[in-house]
């Protein structure tokens, strides 16, 4: 466990007229040596700024050069890693076009695996990296106007659909969007934020207990204005979300709408009748591109008969042919004395997919674990990806490699995908925040 991060910016004095190094999240004043080792090299003095309404951005400071010009910004972002909260310091140039550096502070990542995101080998790639920085499997919160339209590109089936955020914000609220489709059209959209005790942001706003401005629209009124735009126009493009995650088209709406758009698209994925694949009978196999740190390559085999999945097997195989299933059977791979073995957990996942004919049945959460299958505690991200690969093969879907037209791809730590993605999300949120300041 790494415990070196203290939340909030620390006032830092100018060490040299030429340059100095600042480390954020390290308690107290530090010498130049410590700052070079732990932190981010910046040219200028850091002055604390007030953080606007944000659940993720914990603190922000501007980097001011000796001549008084702002050279950049440093933000501390709270993100959800594999083991829990992770605090990431992200330094960006004043115009947001490049990263000046990244530092990972307090975290609960697994030692020797996820903890590698704190090491120089991973972090040095960010020095001078052109933005936007992206990673496969991480959805950016900016650039929504360049995406294909999530409604216009789908045939919707009637029903009620709900998508919730995977975790609560710092105030304990979980965002959720519910839509109703009738006659192939969206007839109702409700955006709200709900606490564990049932308290809703809509109720607080209506009762005057959640006030953003004295003379503008309330949170509920703004949420309803967004919903009306979707219902009236039947297109996500009608929201006019810009690079800062705000709307350019709906009068009176000033709140960040990136979360709303993401959850709305989650509902639309559920309602998408055109997404259903017709599976061709046959045997299908998908393998991971690389071996893990123990030399195992994950693989999933799937059998389709009469258009339905009838068999599914997940295993991990070494170059010499050693399989994880065989090791478990021989008692050489033991995870727990009283729980399900790795093989039993893998079989439980397979049974859920076969029974429901959908990978959604495993209910994978943001940590890559299942929320729905009792007794299964292993990471299932690789399983989900490989099953989806098999389904695409059976459905005749040709994989297309998509790469953003600008920006830089982040190299993840091998074997620490979740931890790497947490850092990527933190960088994306810091980048989006700096853009909306411009």
**How confident is the model over 281-337, as pLDDT tens digits?**
999 999 988 888 788 999 999 999 999 999 999 999 999 999 999 999 999 999 888
Cα separation values, 339 from 313, 329, 334, 344, 362, Å: 20, 15, 10, 9, 18
Domain ranges of the chain: 20-135+410-437, 144-274, 282-394
Exposure on the CB side of residue 166, measured as CA atoms within 13 A: 15
Do 282-394 and 144-274 have the same topology in CATH? yes
**Which residues lie across from 46 on neighbouring strands?**
63
The C-alpha angle with vertex 75 and arms to 259 and 364, in degrees rounded to 5, equals 40
Residue with the bigger pLDDT between 274 and 17: it is 274
pLDDT tens digit sequence for 59-78: 898 888 888 899 999 999 98
Average pLDDT, the chain: 82
pLDDT, position 351? 96
pLDDT tens digit sequence for 124-155: 999 999 998 988 767 665 644 333 455 665 77
Q: Are 261 and 229 in contact (CB under 8 A)?
A: no
CATH number of 282-394: 3.90.1010.20
pLDDT tens digit sequence for 338-385: 889 999 999 999 999 999 888 888 988 767 788 889 999 999 989 998
Q: Cβ atoms within 10 A of the Cβ of 14, count?
A: 13
The tokens for 310 are 């009838």
Would you identify the CATH topology of the domain 144-274? Answer: Sufe protein. Chain: A (3.90.1010)
The tokens for 19 are 């340059």
């Amino acid at each position: 466990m790494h415990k070196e991060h203290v939340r909030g910016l620390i006032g830092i004095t100018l060490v040299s007229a030429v340059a100095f190094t600042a480390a954020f999240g390290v308690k107290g004043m530090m010498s130049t040596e410590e700052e070079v080792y732990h932190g981010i090299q910046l040219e200028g003095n850091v002055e604390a700024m007030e953080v606007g309404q944000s659940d993720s951005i914990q603190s922000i400071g501007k980097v001011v050069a000796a001549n008084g010009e702002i050279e950049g910004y440093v933000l501390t972002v709270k993100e959800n890693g594999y083991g829990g909260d992770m605090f990431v310091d992200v330094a960006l140039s004043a115009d947001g076009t490049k990263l000046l550096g990244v530092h990972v502070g307090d975290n609960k990542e697994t030692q020797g695996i996820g903890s590698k995101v704190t090491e120089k080998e991973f972090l040095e790639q960010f020095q001078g990296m052109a933005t936007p920085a992206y990673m496969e499997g991480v959805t950016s919160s900016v650039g929504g106007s360049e995406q294909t339209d999530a409604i216009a590109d789908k045939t919707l089936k009637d029903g009620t659909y709900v998508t919730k955020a995977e975790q609560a914000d710092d105030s304990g609220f979980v965002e959720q969007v519910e839509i109703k489709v009738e006659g192939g059209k969206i007839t109702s959209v409700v955006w709200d934020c709900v606490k564990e005790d049932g308290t809703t942001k809509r109720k607080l706003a209506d009762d005057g207990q959640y006030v953003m401005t004295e003379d503008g629209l309330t949170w509920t009124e703004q949420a309803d204005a967004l919903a009306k735009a979707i219902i009236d126009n039947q297109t996500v493009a009608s929201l006019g979300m810009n690079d800062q995650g705000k709307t350019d088209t709906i009068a009176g709406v000033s709140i960040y709408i990136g979360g709303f758009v993401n959850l709305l698209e989650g509902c639309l994925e559920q309602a998408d009748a055109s997404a259903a694949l017709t599976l061709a009978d046959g045997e299908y196999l998908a393998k991971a591109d690389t071996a893990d740190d123990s030399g195992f390559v994950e693989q999933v085999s799937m059998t389709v008969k009469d258009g339905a999945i009838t068999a599914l097997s997940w295993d991990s195989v070494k170059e010499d042919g050693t399989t994880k299933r065989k090791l478990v059977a021989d008692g050489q791979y033991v995870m727990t004395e009283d729980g399900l073995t790795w093989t039993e957990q893998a079989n439980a996942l397979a049974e859920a997919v076969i029974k429901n004919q959908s990978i959604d049945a495993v209910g994978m959460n943001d940590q890559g674990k299942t929320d729905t299958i009792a007794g299964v505690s292993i990471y299932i991200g690789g399983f989900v990806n490989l099953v989806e690969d098999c389904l695409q093969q059976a459905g005749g879907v040709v994989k297309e490699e998509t790469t953003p037209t600008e920006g830089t791809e982040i190299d993840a730590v091998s074997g620490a995908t979740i931890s790497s993605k947490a850092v990527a999300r933190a960088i994306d949120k810091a980048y989006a925040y700096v853009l909306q300041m411009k």
